[in-house]
Structure 1
Amino acid sequence: MPLLTTLDQLDPAYDRVLVAGVSGSGKTTMCSKLGARLGLVHIELDSLFHGPNWSVRTTFEAEVDEFISQDRWVLEWQYDQVRQRLAARADLLVWLDYPLVVVMKRVIWRTVRRGVTHEPLWNGNVEPPLWTIMTNREHIIRWAWQTRASYPGRIRQLLTDHPDLSVLRITDPRDTERVLEVLGSS
């Protein structure tokens, strides 16, 4: 399956959808919107992965397997341990490939907002203090910066490993609404 763009003819109905993109690109927001539009079940993959004190939950992979065994769902495409399983079950992957300035602005704003408000995240976790960007190599802002260039290669490999999977690349946030209008219009 070739890489689709927002100009291509899209099938209006999909049953198992993944949303890919660097941290801060809007994967979870897009999943929520697609879930509502297509009537798909959504759970944040981060909620299955992160345990208390940012530990990795031992049940992560089993819970992912259970979730994707359902007939209709939408989920973020992340975490190397499960990426291949997710792709094997999906019939569409939406790749949010936005410009770096858009993504960094989003991830910085989200991180600052969550840090100031102490917004509860998954399993009692909250964003660490913003100054930890200087000391934590895996701080979410640093993570977004460091991993941003890995997605083109991941997508190329995905197209090789799963040639029947439709992959839709969105490069402009303004096109997201158009895609949402087309999907679920059946």
Structure 2
Amino acid sequence: MVRILVVGASGSGKTTLARRLAAEMAVPHIELDALQHGPGWTPRPTFVADVTAAVAAPAWVVDGNYSAVQELVWARADTVVWLDLPRWLVEWRVVRRTAGRLVLRRRLWNGNRERWRDVPRADHPIRWSWRKHAEYRVRYAERFATEPAERACVRLRGRAEVAAWSAVEDGVGVEVLGGGHAAP
């Protein structure tokens, strides 16, 4: 495993896991949100070019689900980790994260901050996560079923599975199911 993609709904823990894996592997962590969101939450016009350059590196850990670069990142990944946590847990996490960002006025990518007035918007992470959770379940289940054997696909369905898988150095001890598909 030298090029790992971590996918899942907002609040599933993609960035936390990706950051930890990248640190342990001593490789770059590429957070797609940081490349996508310019000042004032405007989409960065160089997003695709920046992702293309980043995944050209020999080793990395990427987190995110952006359809504009999905095929590009998947084509380079040798391992895809899907955080398929229960919706209640994902929603709890994204609400807790949003509250912390709002109260502490935490600065995010390119100087952006979450704002109270944005919480009711359809594209706010709380609502986005709720809407996308079921869609990602279908999309990633279908994708994992058709992935080539040379790409390890790891579906983690709970906190204990994430902890157990991420504690195993380089995925040793991860049971590989036919076709490159892995489970803890």
Task: Work out the CA distance in 2 between the residues paired with 1:99 and 1:185.
Answer: 23
The reply on whether 1:15 has 2:6 as its aligned counterpart is no
* Identical amino acids, percent of aligned pairs: 38
The TM-score, its normalising length taken from structure 1, stands at 0.86
2:5, 2:80 within 8 Å by CA — same for their partners in 1?
A: yes
Q: Give the AA of the match of 1:77.
A: G
Which residue pairs with 1:51 in the alignment? 38
| Structure 1 unaligned regions, length at least 5 | 1-13
Which residue pairs with 2:78 in the alignment? 91
2:165, 2:171 within 8 Å by CA — same for their partners in 1?
A: no
Measure how far apart 1:160 and its partner are: 5.5
Which residue pairs with 1:172 in the alignment? 158
2:81, 2:154 within 8 Å by CA — same for their partners in 1?
A: yes
Measure how far apart 1:152 and its partner are: 2.2
The TM-score, its normalising length taken from structure 2, stands at 0.87
Which residue pairs with 1:121 in the alignment? 108
CA separation of 1:185/1:16 partners in 2, compared to 1, >3 Å: closer, same or farther? closer
Q: Give the AA of the match of 1:166.
A: A
Runs of 4+ in 1 over 4 A off after TM superposition: none
The reply on whether 1:36 has 2:10 as its aligned counterpart is no
Which residue pairs with 1:11 in the alignment? none
Which residue pairs with 2:141 in the alignment? 156
1:56-78 Cα distance to aligned partner (Å, 9 max, x none): 00110000000000000000131
CA separation of 1:15/1:112 partners in 2, compared to 1, >3 Å: closer, same or farther? same
Range that drifts further, 175-184 or 40-49: 175-184
**Matches of residues 54-133 of structure 1 in structure 2 within 5 Å?**
54-129=41-116, 131-133=117-119
Task: Work out the CA distance in 2 between the residues paired with 1:185 and 1:160.
Answer: 20
| Structure 2 unaligned regions, length at least 5 | 173-184
Number of corresponding residues: 171
1:102-131 Cα distance to aligned partner (Å, 9 max, x none): 1000000000110111100000100021x5
CA separation of 1:139/1:28 partners in 2, compared to 1, >3 Å: closer, same or farther? same
